[in-house]
Structure 1
Amino acid sequence: MSSPTSPVFGKKYSAFLFDMDGTLLNSIAAAERVWSRWAERHGLDVATFLPTMHGKRGVDTIRQLGLPGVDPVAEAAQVTQDEIDDVTGVIPIPGAIDFVKNLPAERWAIVTSSPIKLAKVRMAAAGLPEPKFIVTAEDVSRGKPSPECYLLGAKRVGFDPTECLVFEDVAAGVLAGEAAGSDVMVITTTHTHPLETSHPGINGYHGIVAATDENGNLYLTDNR
């Protein structure tokens, strides 16, 4: 857990870049229902497999398994459709809605491993406002932990990635933010096991306030 003395708090940033699942909304129950069924169909050990699929593009998750006779693109497309059809239990991370609503629209973006259709369905289910800028699975050739998504997110908001603060919840995303040169804040709300990281973390957004200086730069204060 971070404290008011964390170097992230009070530091000026040009923009905030948010992962979506596990960072702004909690879709674990829905995602694990769909992926559990997929894993069972392919004879995988579900308990071992599930922790490996969070935070990455579906096609990358499937491709890395190297299953014989499996088309990762086709399988990922079907999984995505199944996830679009099942958003039961998708809810916002505590305080996330008010937090992003108070940000200047041109100063934040969502950078997600989800395809655009799934991202929109989940944001709607959670009641999150759609951002002005968004990077999704279709926008990159390499998913997290590659920094490509955060480099593109920074470009879309119009700032250098070193001027941006990345909000993430899983190792693949943290590595992507680090590789992009950004500072990282870890959202721990959905963690069942501690994420080994040197970055500060917060368990939701209640009491975390984003203020704007005279130049439009953002900075965080911890009022918990």
Structure 2
Amino acid sequence: MKCKGFLFDLDGTLVDSLAVVERAWKNWGKRHGIAPEEVLGFIHGKQAITSLRHFMSGASAKEIQQEFIALEKLEAEDIDSVVALPSAVELLSQLDELEISWAIVTSGSLPVASARHAAAGLPAPAAFVTAECVERGKPEPDAYLLGAQLLDLEPEECVVVEDAAAGILSGLASGSHVIAVNAPADSPRLEDVDMVLSSLEELIISKNPDGSVNVHRKH
């Protein structure tokens, strides 16, 4: 597979924030009388506001916004257990050394995503697309289309790296190549992605003289 740039999801792809995310949402569900499995079965890979609108369908916009502000504050402050996933820092640093463009494209809000990015000690991306940047979140393609645009690349010149079903669908809808990393086995359209990995450690990157990038999987 050849490309010119990378578009990385953040949570579950570059950083391990699962405990933080699930703790916050389980507690939220408990307060609202919603079973944890129902909440966790919906939220992953989606914007928080999308999940709140789903579970609070009868509430006013003001009530939903108040819940969002409270949840965002909680998640932005709860970073003690947030760490970079194996090989994430090394991979991003290698891309920087090879002068290969890359961006982070997340469903998280700017305060939450920035806090987790910093806590994990990741290098700075060329572009940081957060929930505030697009009207329609994943699984719609908007976020990844914007990420490619900010790198001054066409979507088909980019590789989306994702762990969540919503993000995989978003990447495919954008027309980019897609690598699924540690994605659930029952993720829709998993058979359509270019590569399925269990870890970023399996990824091999090399740059050609013409500036294009080769992407391989370790055997």
TM superposition score normalised by structure 2? 0.91
Aligned partner letter, 2:168? V
Aligned residues: 212
Equivalent runs, 1:46-61 vs 2, <5 Å:
46-61=36-51
State the match for 1:175 in structure 2: 169
Residue identity matched to 1:172: A
Pairing 1:73–2:73 present: no
2:69 & 2:207 partners in 1: Cα distance? Answer: 40
CA offsets 1:28-49 (integer angstroms, 9 cap, x no match) = 1011111111111111111221
Matches within 5 A, 1:59-98: 59-69=49-59, 71-98=63-90
Structure 1 residue aligned with 2:112: 118
Is it true that 1:212 corresponds to 2:204 in the alignment? no
- 1:192 offset after TM fit, Å? 6.3
What is the match of residue 6 of structure 1?
none
Q: Which runs of 5+ in 1 are unaligned?
A: 1-10
In structure 1, the residue matched to 2:198 is 203
**Cα offset, 1:67, TM superposition:** 3.9
Q: What code does the residue aligned with 1:81 have?
A: K
SS at match of 2:113: helix
42, 47, 54: which is aligned to 2:32? Answer: 42
The separation in 2 between residues aligned to 1:163 and 1:132, in whole angstroms, is: 16
When the two chains are superposed, the root-mean-square deviation of aligned CA atoms in Å is 1.6
Q: 1:101 aligns with which of 93, 98, 116?
A: 93
Distance verdict in 2 for CA 1:106–1:76, change over 3 Å? farther
Q: Which residue of 1 aligns with 2:216?
A: 221
C-alpha distance in structure 1 between counterparts of 2:163 and 2:217, whole Å: 19
Between 1 and 2, higher relative CO (CA 8 Å, sep ≥ 6) is seen in 1
CA distance in 1 between partners of 2:14 and 2:54 (Å):
26
TM-score between the two structures when normalised by the length of structure 1: 0.89
**Structure 2 stretches of 5 or more lacking a match?**
none
What letter matches 1:147 in structure 2? Answer: P
